[in-house]
Amino acid sequence: MVLLSIENLVVEFPASTGWFRAVDGVSMSVNEGEILAIVGESGSGKSVSMLAVMGLLPPAARVSADRLEFDGKDLRSLSARERSKIIGREISMIFQEPIASLNPSFTVGYQIDEVLKAHTSLLGRERRERVLELLADVGIPDPAVKRDSYPHQLSGGQCQRVMIAMAVACKPKLLLADEPTTALDVTIQRQILDLLMQLRRETGLGLVLITHNLGVVAATADRVVVQYDGRKMEEGDVVSIFESPRHEYTRALLAALPERAMGGRLPSVADGLAMEQAQ
């Protein structure tokens, strides 16, 4: 079943010379239990597309779409009350910088509890138990101690796990993960990705994984959307995107993978595009 359906999404920001179009007619959908990766270079509009879904863009942004539906509900016409039932509860988002996304002044247990308070009817003692359960679920060692820690007392990987615990606290149907592993070292990246895949298996949530890392895409995604300069360049299942990319930009991205490095220097996307054009 289709969970998220986006058609012809356009997002513009006011600029000194008029309106700057950050997302230019993007369409995509995510099914239950599916991992959709959105790849593309920095500034290609990946985050802005998902912030539009969450309704988290600044008021000055101009957003339009022919369709913006979650679980059969039109996200464009929700009342504030309906929105608060869906956003942060049925759809949640995790961001790139775990430490910056947590509030340094409160313990991680308090911050997870706030999510439960806002979106569930659990009582104080039940919430305390649920906080411990969530910390254990995301693989935080010694949850009873870590619950009372402040973000700076945890490692980057542990903070990202706390963010994931907050995001899945209300058992969302859809999780939007914006570069969830970029700030982490490679072994921790792997663990966080494994955790997201495990949550997908156990809860059947749909996952949108925003990344510029094609290695991460190959290891996790079912389908891929390639974005460039605010537009969708191509879309397909992960095998066909890797084996027979149709668009020049996707081929350039693939050519820039580290394992294709030549002469001790990592190629850039610009090198890939130059190679494409030379052929």
Query: Radius of gyration (Cα) for the chain, nearest Å?
Result: 20
CB–CB of 211/188 below 8 Å? no
Binding-residue total with ligand ATP (CB under 6 A): 12
Q: State the nearest-atom distance from the C-beta of 57 to ligand ATP, in Å.
A: 7
Q: How many Å apart are CA 219 and CA 40, to the nearest integer? A: 17
Site for ligand ATP in 55-84 (CB under 6 A): 58
Nearer to ligand ATP, 19 or 106 (CB): 19
- Residue 232 interacts with ligand ATP (CB under 6 A)? no
Contact window for ligand ATP (CB under 6 A) among 35-43, 160-168, 213-221, 234-242:
35-43
Other Cβ atoms less than 10 A from the Cβ of 13: the count is 14
- Residue 40 interacts with ligand ATP (CB under 6 A)? yes
- Residue 214 interacts with ligand ATP (CB under 6 A)? no
- Residue 46 interacts with ligand ATP (CB under 6 A)? yes
Nearer to ligand ATP, 112 or 210 (CB): 210
3-state SS string over 103-143? CCCCCHHHHHHHHHHHHCCCCHHHHHHHHHHHHHHCCCCCH
**15 phi-psi bin (left φ>0, alpha ψ -120 to 50, beta other):** beta
CB–CB of 70/3 below 8 Å? yes
Q: How many Å apart are CA 130 and CA 213, to the nearest integer? A: 33
- Residue 45 interacts with ligand ATP (CB under 6 A)? yes
Q: State the nearest-atom distance from the C-beta of 46 to ligand ATP, in Å.
A: 4
List, in order, residues 6 or more apart from 247 with CB less than 8 Å away.
Answer: 226, 233, 234
Q: State the nearest-atom distance from the C-beta of 254 to ligand ATP, in Å.
A: 18
Question: Could you say which of 4, 6, 26, 44 contacts ligand ATP (CB under 6 A)?
Answer: 44
Using a 10 angstrom Cβ sphere, with 0-12 exposed, 13-18 middle and 19 or more buried, the burial of residue 239 is exposed
Q: State the nearest-atom distance from the C-beta of 136 to ligand ATP, in Å.
A: 31
Nearer to ligand ATP, 108 or 241 (CB): 241
- Residue 48 interacts with ligand ATP (CB under 6 A)? yes
Contact window for ligand ATP (CB under 6 A) among 1-9, 46-54, 68-76, 145-153:
46-54
SS3 102: coil
Residue 259: what residue type?
E
- Residue 102 interacts with ligand ATP (CB under 6 A)? no
- Residue 100 interacts with ligand ATP (CB under 6 A)? no
Q: Which residues bind ligand ATP (CB under 6 A)?
A: 13, 22, 40, 42-48, 58, 212
